[in-house]
Chains A and B, each alone.
Chain A
Amino acid sequence: MKFLPTSDAERAAMLSSIGARSIDDLFAAVPAAVRRGPDLPPPMSEIEIRRFVGGMASKNANARDTAFFLGAGVYNHYVSSIADQMLYRAEWLTSYTPYQPEVSQGTLQNIFEFQTHICLLTGLEVANASLYEGASALVEALLMAERLSRGKTRAVLSAGIHPEYRETVWTYFSNLGLEIVEVGLGKDGATDANALAAAVDERTFAVAVQSPNFYGIVEDWNSGSAAAKAKGALSVAVVAEAASLALLAPPGEGGADIACGEAQSLGVPMHNGGPLLGFLSCRTEHQRQIPGRLAGQTKDAEGRRAFCLTLSTREQHIRREKATSNICTNQGLMALASNIHMSLLGKEGLREVALQSHAKAQYLKGEIAKVPGYRIPYTGPTFNEFLVEAPEDAAALLARLAAQGILGGVALSRFDVKDRRRFLVAVTEMNERAEMDRLVAALAGRPA
């Protein structure tokens, strides 16, 4: 076997050093009743693996071969060749969590830089080394707020938060004696500010609002923060489309205490929904309750700048059941991809991506609104994604478009939403005007 470097002769020599007759002897502690080999096909060669796995890949539609407008939490943004090729370097790909700083300065400095980028984008002071993805990042943010509240039991969530994020919160909260209150949206598609303020009481530990929200509407962080502050709760800002952070007011400026969400848009391919890149940032005063790993700057024995993981006493391997989170492995390599991307695009490039995404989405939204029978139900400002109401069942419509090579959007019926005629359309800097025009023509039933 090509991944096993030991020859039969070497195995025999090793067994003799050990004093065992066979490898089977080494398994003596495993009861015979439980020993059973698997019923699997014979080994495949590299060529056969490429055929087998490649065959499955070719059955999927992908963003390179289609006019592509899917979003709803995962976005098709530009990723530079270097951001991906750098990940192939064995020193990045095949290293472990940097528990031994003397032989892990690359990974540690990368984390430190990633943390800095996230702080700059979110307008907060401390960021962690990454979390799994957006939904569990929201859970971690809420649990952090709950710990800081010392005994409060209610979380108020905007219904504009991604439905799969909210479902994840329900899963985690169901056994912890915590209450979740969801607040609906107003006519403009933004969270109803009055209802939000009314839902927050003295028992509330956090108020969470997403912007742009699930329906694409840009929310004002200040309304969530004001509602939270009025009752002594923490304000949690959720970002599912992190490219927006380069154009929209950062959560920290809008009074958010914790920002969290999904940074896939910043240098990570869509990967069919994973691996993604969760992030979390907060104010300095709350840093000791932050979940997950943190890289900090320090010195080596000769006084040179060096980095290491720090505040480990918050974490499960030290604190066990009293840890701030059970998270261990996170998204290290994706944080590297994102650090490379954010560094490369920098302050100007990130902004240009956001501006182009927004401008193209505005164009498409305007064109779709002109197609008879189609309506843009929400009036609030949008960043790069918007809701469309079709004159027919959206899933059926989108299936028809798909047959023409257009992935025209995500039907809300995917998310248990009752209204079957609505769908979300996302646009990024990757979309050309010509493909947007094709989508519009297809919706209008005209030849493109």
Chain B
Amino acid sequence: MSVEIEEKTAPARDPRRPEPRPLPLVFERSGEGKVGYSLPPLDVPGAVAIPAALCRKEIAGGTEISEVDVARHFTRLSKLNFSIDQGLYALGSCTMKHNPRTNEEMARLPGFAASHPLAPDALSQGSLELAWRLERILAELTGLPRVTLQPSAGAQGELAGILMVRKALEKTGKPRTTVLIPDSAHGTNPASAHFAGYTVKELKSNAHGTIDLDVLERAMTEDVAALMLTVPNTLGIFEGQILDIAKIVHARGGYLYCDGANFNAFVGVAKPGLMGVDVMHMNLHKTFSTPHGGGGPGSGPVAVCEALVPYLPRPTVERRADGTFFLDYERPDSIGRLRTFLGNFGMFVRALSYIAAYGNRIGEVARVAVLNANYIRAGLSDVYHLKYDGPSMHEVVFSDKKQTEFGVSNVDIAKRLMDYGFHPPTMSFPLIVHGALMIEPTETEGKPVLDAFIKAMRDIARECEENAELVRTAPHTTPVKRVDEVGAARNLVLRWRP
């Protein structure tokens, strides 16, 4: 075993605590002859019937390790992570809410986890029913008639939505050339529009951080296929003129796309379909509580208006008059497939279980999420700068403007917050707020937690004035100290080598 430990002269340490050292890689724990698996003896003849030229000899560098070592390795590694079960995860736009464990149990039922997407429809009635029910519920919540569950995550949902718009426009004339996207939008919006073959035109936000109707009016030409709008926008501000925005877009024959990443702000309270939204993706891993899992899996269903229904990805899940369900592949105008099979089905199970727990009271989610964000805003707006002061919905975007006077940046504040036991806000986004600190508490934080968070942020603001160095050198209590991200990109080491 070769554990690479960097010997460096470090500042004087507490002699009672041994030098912390990095955990070895799983490959560095490996030792010849160790075994971590057991398989039954082979019950058929065992010859390889593939020409040797098409086979490999061995997996050079592969591990040899016991189950005990694996259990310890991954348990120790896990303890280096912050998680929502540990405390408030202030990441704006990410909707880090509690992940109910019933949902995990439901997704692991053998009828789901050990079922195969290509089993005959007659033997998949449970999965088809579940997908159908989830679609109906999401249609009800969005106020739009149909939903595809196929997209694997929000970004793929965006692409699916814009591809449907494109196909619909093609059918009635030309696909047009341009998609309008406000300067406050998520980066996935322009990237998705680009991969759908569109040129992106950025819409400048007004002094309130929202859409300027005159700017939109001028930009909304006959070349524009769609406006991609995040509702509420990434500042957490609801576009109060949404009905006028929809009118302008529709008057020129365009479609209104809603980025539903922020659906948590109004789920169960208001319906996008009534706002004039034509197509909208949702993130089951945000609004509907499916776990983020350190970066996925997600799921990005897309709800569409009647005019876009023919273009839904195929297959769709349909119910016959006798109550049985089937997959409909006969959809000649479909944009096609975005991936294999039905989508991230395991996420459908979790989302449906979650929605069932709230039922017709799901609006409470949005109501408390908005209450919590406004409570944080009220608790911090005298110490942190608020560039756009429109009414906040589920998140609030401060900046480091006051703290930069003391030579402290938003990054430093974020790192210092780790020492207080909170996950930092989203930083430097949206791009229209310099030094942004974007905070989304979600509805699953209670008042004592919010009070502690507010106090931590206020304490840090004071530290910026009194002891800026303490903040600039943060974090001080995390498993590793500030990580050299520039060095990582300059000297790329992307894998272990045998």
Which residues 237-277 of A sit at the B interface, judged by CB distance below 8 A?
246-250, 253, 262, 269-276
Min distance, Cβ A364 to any Cβ of chain B, angstroms: 8
A271–B112 touching, CB < 8 Å: yes
**Of the candidates B358, B482, B485, which one forms a contact with A43 in the assembled complex, judged by CB atoms under 8 Å apart?**
B358
Interface string of B358-373 (1 = CB under 8 A from A): 1111111101101110
Complex interface: stretch among A60-68, A201-209, A369-377 = A60-68
Q: Is A391 an interface residue (CB 8 A)?
A: no
B445–A294 touching, CB < 8 Å: no
Q: How many residues of A contact B (CB 8 A)?
A: 212
Q: Is A417 an interface residue (CB 8 A)?
A: no
B39–A78 touching, CB < 8 Å: yes
A113–B295 touching, CB < 8 Å: no
B117, B196, B393, B484 interface centre (most CB from chain A within 10 Å): B117
Complex Cα–Cα for A55 and B106 (A): 10
B496–A113 touching, CB < 8 Å: yes
Q: Is A145 an interface residue (CB 8 A)?
A: no
Min distance, Cβ B176 to any Cβ of chain A, angstroms: 12
Closest to B116 in A: A70
Complex interface: stretch among B53-61, B216-224, B302-310 = B53-61
B297–A332 touching, CB < 8 Å: yes
Complex Cα–Cα for A291 and B169 (A): 29
**Of the candidates A49, A70, A332, which one forms a contact with B296 in the assembled complex, judged by CB atoms under 8 Å apart?**
A332
A328–B494 touching, CB < 8 Å: no
Q: Is A419 an interface residue (CB 8 A)?
A: no
A63–B116 touching, CB < 8 Å: yes
Complex Cα–Cα for A242 and B32 (A): 24
Q: Is B12 an interface residue (CB 8 A)?
A: no
Q: Is B75 an interface residue (CB 8 A)?
A: yes
Complex Cα–Cα for A262 and B340 (A): 10
B481–A102 touching, CB < 8 Å: yes
A56–B36 touching, CB < 8 Å: no
Q: Is B30 an interface residue (CB 8 A)?
A: yes
Contacts of A410 in B (CB 8 A): 118
A57, A87, A333, A436 interface centre (most CB from chain B within 10 Å): A57
Min distance, Cβ B329 to any Cβ of chain A, angstroms: 8
**Of the candidates A171, A275, A343, which one forms a contact with B26 in the assembled complex, judged by CB atoms under 8 Å apart?**
A343
Complex Cα–Cα for A103 and B423 (A): 8
Complex interface: stretch among B124-132, B248-256, B402-410, B461-469 = B124-132
Q: Is B437 an interface residue (CB 8 A)?
A: no
Min distance, Cβ B48 to any Cβ of chain A, angstroms: 6
**Of the candidates A301, A313, A321, A345, which one forms a contact with B36 in the assembled complex, judged by CB atoms under 8 Å apart?**
A345
A316–B111 touching, CB < 8 Å: no
B269–A27 touching, CB < 8 Å: yes
Closest to B20 in A: A304
Contacts of A90 in B (CB 8 A): 83-86
B338–A19 touching, CB < 8 Å: no
Which residues 297-347 of A sit at the B interface, judged by CB distance below 8 A?
297-313, 315-323, 325-334, 336, 339-340, 342-347
A174–B336 touching, CB < 8 Å: yes
B295–A168 touching, CB < 8 Å: no
Closest to B474 in A: A102
Q: Is A187 an interface residue (CB 8 A)?
A: no
Q: Is A196 an interface residue (CB 8 A)?
A: no
A30–B36 touching, CB < 8 Å: no
Contacts of B329 in A (CB 8 A): 416
Task: Contacts A333-B294, A347-B62 known; list 4 others, CB within 8 Å.
Answer: A23-B371, A34-B274, A44-B359, A220-B54
A-B contact pairs, 25 of them (CB 8 A): A3-B289, A18-B377, A23-B367, A60-B111, A62-B115, A63-B110, A82-B70, A91-B85, A94-B84, A101-B485, A116-B25, A172-B159, A247-B50, A249-B55, A272-B115, A272-B342, A275-B346, A294-B494, A298-B487, A298-B488, A304-B20, A311-B492, A326-B194, A340-B74, A398-B120
